[in-house]
């Protein structure tokens, strides 16, 4: 029995050693004697948690490759969350505040997340335009103006198409960047199957073998 336990322990240690360690430390203004949670975004897996004392915290996790991770405070199911792209073997610094956790959140010491934020900023422009048109569409519905409602709906569809086209072009033009399989996976339900196959086939061999790359062809 002892020999079996030793073998199992050795296997677990071996698996862990294949993964890179990331460390996240930082400060959350106004938060004390509470908890912060580190979660993998797409499957809600808890990677680590830490008590926030004197507004400071430290988190550690082991991952194979860059992934979208989420920080949450006070509860694992809290709506106060901040997402970012992790960088393996990195020592990331995160700062924010309790009251505006998501909006004041800031990641330092990660070039990959900096690029992720730039991409998100571009994509969010389309989302912001869509929200503006949606407000007008709701007003048209209240006024029972079907012609205006339908016209605004067409505008929203065009904005969504432009957003998806931007994502497709980015993925095709950056086939060796980890953000390409990530974006394709995140928006795959909105991307035409043919385009999705083109993105996958165009990815470098390394990117096709990544966590997000493999999910483009597997559920």
Query: What's the rounded Cα separation, in Å, for the pair 52 and 178?
Result: 31
Residue 3 pLDDT > 60: no
Tokens 């509470």 correspond to what residue? 34
Model pLDDT for residues 123-140, shown as the tens digit of each residue: 999 999 999 999 999 999
Give burial (CB, 10 Å; 0-12/13-18/19+) of 6.
exposed
Residues in the chain: 219
* C-alpha pair distances (Å), 33 with each of 4, 46, 53, 73, 78: 41, 20, 5, 11, 16
Predicted TM-score (pTM) of the model is 0.84
**CATH 3.40.50.620 fits domain 2-109:** no
pLDDT score of 8: 40
Model pLDDT for residues 61-76, shown as the tens digit of each residue: 999 899 999 999 988 8
User: Residue 211 — very low, low, confident or very high, per pLDDT cuts 50/70/90?
Assistant: very high
Every domain range in the chain assigned CATH 2.60.40.1120:
2-109
């Amino acid at each position: 029995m002892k020999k079996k336990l030793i073998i199992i322990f050795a296997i677990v240690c071996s698996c862990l050693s294949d993964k890179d360690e990331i460390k996240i430390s930082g400060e959350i203004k106004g938060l004390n004697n509470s908890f912060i949670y580190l979660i993998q975004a797409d499957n809600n897996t808890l990677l680590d948690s830490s008590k926030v004392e004197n507004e400071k915290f430290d988190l550690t996790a082991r991952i194979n490759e860059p992934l979208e991770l989420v920080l949450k405070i006070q509860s694992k199911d809290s709506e106060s969350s901040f997402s970012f792209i992790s960088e393996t073997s990195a020592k990331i610094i995160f700062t924010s505040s309790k009251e505006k956790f998501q909006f004041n959140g800031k990641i330092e010491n990660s070039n990959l997340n900096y690029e992720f934020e730039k991409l998100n900023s571009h994509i969010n422009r389309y989302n912001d335009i869509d929200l503006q048109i949606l407000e007008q569409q709701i007003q048209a519905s209240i006024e029972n103006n079907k012609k205006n409602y339908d016209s605004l709906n067409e505008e929203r569809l065009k904005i969504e198409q432009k957003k998806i086209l931007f994502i497709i072009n980015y993925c095709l033009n950056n086939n060796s960047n980890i953000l390409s399989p990530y974006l394709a996976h995140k928006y795959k339900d909105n991307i035409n199957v043919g385009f999705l196959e083109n993105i996958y086939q165009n990815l470098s061999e390394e990117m096709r073998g990544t966590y997000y790359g493999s999910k483009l062809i597997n559920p």
